Structure formats: C-alpha cells, structure tokens
C-alpha cells in the first residue's frame, strides 16, 4: 500500500491527479444527483453546525454542494497535504466566512473531545495506515448524537479500468484501496464506536465516450503514473478496444457513504 509520504508529497501534493479522476466521474456520470450534492444531503444539518472535514482534498464538496449546505456552518477543513489544504481554503473562503484549516493526519486530530456536530471523511479512510485508529479519532471529536459521513467505494468500483491496468501491467501487488476501508468491510470498524451505522449506496455508472479521458484516469495513480511511452500506447490501445462498436465504454461505479450517529 502506498506510503504517507507518497500520498502527501506526490499523489496529493495538489489536486491535479485527483482532478483527472474526478473529471471522468463529472463528465460521464449517469446519476440523477451529482455526487457532492448527494453527500451533503445525507446529513440533517443543525443550526450553526460545527463541521470538520478530514482529508478535505481541494474542498470541492463546499463549492459543488453549496446549495445543500448551511450558510451558517462553522467549517474546519483538514488534510494531510498542505498543498491540498491551501487550495481548499482558497476555494471555500468566498462561501463560508467561519472557516478554519489545519494540515493534520486523520489518525492524530488536534481537537478536543466532542468539538464537532458533523464530521466528514470522504474517500480518505482507505488511505490511512490504521483506519481503525482514525475512526476512533473521528468518534472522539464528534459530540454525542453527532453525525459522521464516511464515503468510500466497494470492491467492484471501476473494475473495467482495473482489468485494463492488469492487462498491461499484470495483476497488482497491492490490495485495492477499498480492501482497507470499503463498503463491504467499513461497518465493522465503525460499529465499535457509533451507536448507529448505515451504508447508503450512490447509484451510478459511467458511460464514457472519449478514450483519452479514461487514459488520463489510469495515468493519475500507480502503476499508470509510471508508464513510459510504450506502456501508454499499450494502455490507450487496450482502452480503445473496450469501446467497441458502440463508441462508448461503461464503467461500474460502486460508491456510497456510511452515515453514523455517535452514542
Ligand atoms: C481521494 S482524496 C478525497 C478528497 C475529498 N475528501 C473528496 O472527497 O474530494 C483523499 C484525500 O485524503 C488525504 N489524506 C490521505 N491520507 C490522509 C491522512 N492520513 N490524514 C488526512 N488526510 C489524508 C489526501 O491528501 C487527499 O486529499
């Protein structure tokens, strides 16, 4: 599994790799409600909610789901990567005046117990070396009856893309990210700290019409990010072959969120 240094200084140094992946979802999603708006709608927002987002990335949630988020929220954005955090604070500051930020590891949160009404940890617990410890931290900083939303993926997520990568590079040595904290195994870690845990699926598949968007996705993370010219050619040919006569490639999306209530 990738190291903390790789995540902080290479993969998530800024939003460029994540943007290549988000672009595929944004352009080719078939879901009726865009992802971040769906996430925001999973919470019943209290007045002047004190909200912590852990692993906030470039802060896209706060811009893209603005219509579904309370204006009066007091927002604390955190990420392991200071580059990501900077970008998030710049993006979110026009919309939320009560805004704070800190570059911190989800496994060691510098906040006192029960200091937030809502905690968000989206598509990030699978990166943390010890997700059970991070879950314990999320529960610690959440007030009684507060809400945690922890989005992740299931094992079938983007399986057609995994098949292409395996064709070109061989079967991966690493486990899939979702094996560490995914739709199928995350509840076991959450049950230990929350009174109520529910998995909610986001129903979506991608119908892609441009092979180069799929190629950009594959090149944004290992092993694709190390591809030389020959491997890139092979990848592109393998992707084009998947498009077939229809001129489109369907990609499975298996995403959703655990919505949890603190005891
Ligand atoms: C896939 S991105 C998700 C970003 C954002 N939550 C979203 O949904 O768009 C994962 C983010 O988690 C951050 N991250 C990875 N490991 C972390 C850790 N141990 N503590 C805090 N953030 C971490 C990365 O820097 C990256 O910004």
pLDDT value, residue 198: 98
Residue 209 maps to a domain: no
Which H helix or E strand runs over 101?
strand 99-103
pLDDT value, residue 178: 83
Cβ of residue 124 lying under 6 Å from some atom of ligand 1: yes
Residue 102 maps to a domain: yes
Atom of ligand 1 nearest to the CA of 128: 19
Residue 237 maps to a domain: no
Do the beta carbons of residue 61 and residue 53 sit within 8 Å?
yes
Residue 236 maps to a domain: no
pLDDT value, residue 173: 67
Atom of ligand 1 nearest to the CA of 60: 9
Cβ of residue 12 lying under 6 Å from some atom of ligand 1: yes
**CA-to-CA dists, residue 129 to 89, 148, 177, 249, angstroms:** 25, 20, 11, 34
Q: What are the backbone dihedrals phi and psi of residue 33, each rounded to the nearest 5 degrees, phi first?
A: -115, 130
Angle separating helix axes 159-169 and 229-243, nearest 10 degrees: 140
> How far, in Å, CA of 37 to CA of 235, rounded?
33
Q: Residue 11 sits in a domain of what CATH number?
A: 3.40.50.150
Atom of ligand 1 nearest to the CA of 36: 8
Domain that holds residue 100: 4-155+172-203+254-261
Count the alpha carbons within 13 Å of 127 in the hemisphere toward its beta carbon: 23
Cβ of residue 122 lying under 6 Å from some atom of ligand 1: yes
Cβ of residue 80 lying under 6 Å from some atom of ligand 1: yes
Ligand 1 centroid vs 80 CA: distance in angstroms?
A: 7
Cβ of residue 180 lying under 6 Å from some atom of ligand 1: no
Do the beta carbons of residue 78 and residue 85 sit within 8 Å?
yes
Residue 159's contacts (CB-CB under 8 Å, 6 or more residues apart) are: 252
Ligand 1 centroid vs 56 CA: distance in angstroms?
A: 6
The total number of structural domains that make up the chain:
1
Residue 247 maps to a domain: no
Do the beta carbons of residue 29 and residue 60 sit within 8 Å?
no
Ligand 1 centroid vs 124 CA: distance in angstroms?
A: 5
Atom of ligand 1 nearest to the CA of 22: 9
> How far, in Å, CA of 136 to CA of 138, rounded?
5
Ligand 1 centroid vs 20 CA: distance in angstroms?
A: 15
For 48, other C-beta atoms within 10 Å of its C-beta total 11
> How far, in Å, CA of 207 to CA of 115, rounded?
42
Residue 99 maps to a domain: yes
For 235, other C-beta atoms within 10 Å of its C-beta total 22
Residue 31 maps to a domain: yes
Strand ranges in 106-218 using DSSP code E only, listed in sequence order: 116-120, 142-153, 194-208
Do the beta carbons of residue 135 and residue 187 sit within 8 Å?
no
Residue 234 maps to a domain: no
| pLDDT averages per 10-residue partition of the chain, 263 residues | 85 93 96 98 97 98 97 97 97 94 97 98 96 98 97 96 93 79 96 97 96 96 93 96 91 97 92
> How far, in Å, CA of 30 to CA of 28, rounded?
6
**What is the reported pTM?**
0.95
* DSSP 8-state class, residue 97: S
């Amino acid at each position: 599994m990738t190291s903390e240094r790789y995540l902080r200084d290479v993969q998530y140094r800024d939003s460029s790799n994540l943007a290549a992946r988000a672009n595929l979802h944004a352009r080719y999603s078939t879901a009726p409600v865009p992802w971040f708006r769906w996430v925001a709608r999973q919470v019943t927002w209290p007045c002047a909610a004190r909200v912590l987002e852990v692993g906030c990335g470039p802060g896209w949630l706060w811009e893209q789901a603005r219509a579904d988020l309370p204006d009066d929220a007091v927002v604390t954005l955190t990420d392991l990567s200071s580059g990501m955090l900077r970008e998030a604070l710049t993006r979110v500051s026009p919309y939320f005046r009560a805004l704070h930020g800190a570059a911190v590891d989800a496994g060691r949160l510098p906040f006192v117990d029960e200091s937030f009404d809502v905690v968000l940890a989206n598509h990030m617990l699978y990166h943390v070396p010890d997700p059970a410890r991070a879950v314990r931290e999320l529960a610690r900083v959440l007030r009684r009856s507060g809400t945690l939303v922890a989005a992740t993926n299931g094992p079938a997520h983007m399986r057609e893309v995994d098949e292409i990568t395996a064709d070109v590079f061989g079967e991966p040595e690493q486990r899939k990210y979702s094996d560490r904290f995914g739709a199928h195994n995350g509840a076991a870690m959450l049950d230990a700290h929350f009174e109520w845990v529910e998995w909610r699926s986001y129903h979506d598949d991608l119908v892609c019409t441009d092979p180069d968007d799929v190629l950009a996705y594959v090149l944004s993370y290992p092993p694709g990010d190390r591809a030389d010219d020959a491997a890139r050619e092979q990848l592109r040919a393998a992707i084009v072959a998947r498009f077939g006569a229809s001129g489109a490639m369907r990609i499975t999306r298996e995403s959703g969120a655990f919505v949890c209530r603190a005891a």
